């Protein structure tokens, strides 16, 4: 009985550790989003031509794109649904290169998933969104300079074709 309990506890702990290494999700409505360094905001504003977006307040969260357990990159969106559409908001991924930042992805969705798989040293990312009537996801892979958009997968949940 004691062996079974120990094995169960070890399995539980192993699964918990394994899930830490699994994909990570971030959404435009995460409670953990907060103010960003000014250098990150400047990079996002420089990369976006929309005047309405440039007037927004930017918020985000540190992320780890290269998997070195050092979250120095950023998932970025806007506060208070500024520039958002129905179920969609702006999403930027900003990479730290030590002393400076660069915009490596600009998209629209409800959330982003940092995948376990990497391409050219950075994790693959999926930008996704869903409503009661549809789901959409778009894969992005790093090409050595920025993320490139893959083929969007769209699913109509109402059974229409």
HSE-up of residue 16 (Cα within 13 Å, Cβ side): 6
The domains of the chain are located at 22-156
User: In Å, what is the CA distance from 122 to each residue of 6, 54, 85, 104, 158?
Assistant: 37, 27, 29, 11, 36
Give kind and range of the element (H or E) at residue 155: strand 153-156
Residue environment code for 81-99, b if the CB has 16+ CB neighbours within 10 A, otherwise e: ebbbeeebbbbbbbbbeee
pLDDT tens, residue order, the chain (161 aa): 444 333 333 333 333 333 345 689 999 999 999 999 999 999 999 988 888 899 999 999 999 999 999 999 999 999 999 999 887 999 999 999 988 999 999 999 999 999 999 999 999 999 999 999 999 999 999 999 999 999 999 999 987 65
Q: How far apart are CA 30 and CA 53, in angstroms?
A: 19
């Amino acid at each position: 009985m004691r062996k079974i309990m120990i094995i169960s506890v070890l399995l539980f702990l192993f699964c918990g550790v394994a899930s830490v290494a699994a994909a990570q999700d971030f959404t435009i409505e995460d409670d953990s989003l907060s103010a960003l360094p000014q250098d990150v905001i400047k990079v996002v504003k420089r990369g976006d031509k929309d005047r309405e977006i440039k007037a927004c307040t930017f918020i985000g969260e540190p992320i780890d794109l290269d998997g070195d357990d050092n979250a120095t990159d950023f998932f970025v969106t806007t506060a208070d649904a500024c520039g958002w559409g129905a179920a969609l908001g702006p999403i930027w991924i900003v990479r730290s290169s030590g002393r400076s930042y660069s915009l490596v992805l600009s998209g629209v969705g409800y959330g982003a998933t940092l995948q376990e798989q990497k391409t050219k040293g950075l994790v693959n990312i999926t930008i996704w969104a869903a409503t009661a009537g549809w789901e959409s996801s778009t894969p992005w892979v790093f090409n050595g300079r920025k993320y490139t958009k893959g083929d969007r997968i769209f699913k109509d949940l109402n059974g229409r074709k």
